[in-house]
Amino acid sequence: MKKLSETDAIFETINQINQAADDDETMLRISCDAKATILLERFSRGGLNRVMVKGLDHDFQDKDSAKVTPFGIYLPVTKELFLYFTQSKVTSDFMVDCLIDCWTQLRTQFPHVKTLVINQDNGPENQSRRTQFMYRLTQFVDRYRLTIQLAYYPPYHSKYNAIERVWGHLEQHWNGSLLDALDTVLNFARSFRFNQKSPWVRLASKLYAAGAKLAPQAMALLELRFQRLAGLEKWFVRIPPLN
Backbone φ and ψ of 147, nearest 5°:
-90, 140
Do 72 and 109 form a contact (C-beta atoms < 8 A)? no
Q: What is the pLDDT of residue 2?
A: 60
Q: Dump strand ranges (E) for 136-220.
A: 147-153, 200-203
Averaged pLDDT for residues 97-122: 97
Q: Tell me which architecture the domain covering 6-239 has in CATH.
A: 2-Layer Sandwich (3.30)
Q: What is the pLDDT of residue 1?
A: 53
Do 133 and 125 form a contact (C-beta atoms < 8 A)? yes
The secondary structure element, H or E, covering residue 137 is helix 131-144
Q: What is the pLDDT of residue 157?
A: 83
Q: What is the pLDDT of residue 243?
A: 78
Whether the per-residue pLDDT at 124 is higher than 70: the answer is yes
Averaged pLDDT for residues 167-194: 94
Predicted TM-score (pTM) of this structure: 0.90
Give me the percent of the chain exceeding a pLDDT of 70.
Answer: 89
**What band does 13 get if pLDDT is binned at 50, 70 and 90?**
very high
- What pLDDT, in 10s, does the model give residues 42-83? 654 554 444 444 544 454 455 556 999 999 999 999 999 999
Give me the percent of the chain exceeding a pLDDT of 90.
Answer: 83
Averaged pLDDT for residues 152-176: 91
Pairing of strands 80-86, 200-203: parallel
Averaged pLDDT for residues 15-28: 97
Q: What is the pLDDT of residue 155?
A: 83
C-alpha dist (Å) from residue 48 to 129, 189, 194, 236, 243: 43, 18, 20, 42, 56
Closest CA to 85 of 122, 137, 125, 34: 34
**What band does 201 get if pLDDT is binned at 50, 70 and 90?**
very high
Q: Where are the domains of the chain?
A: 6-239
Averaged pLDDT for residues 150-162: 90
Averaged pLDDT for residues 17-23: 97
Pairing of strands 147-153, 236-239: antiparallel
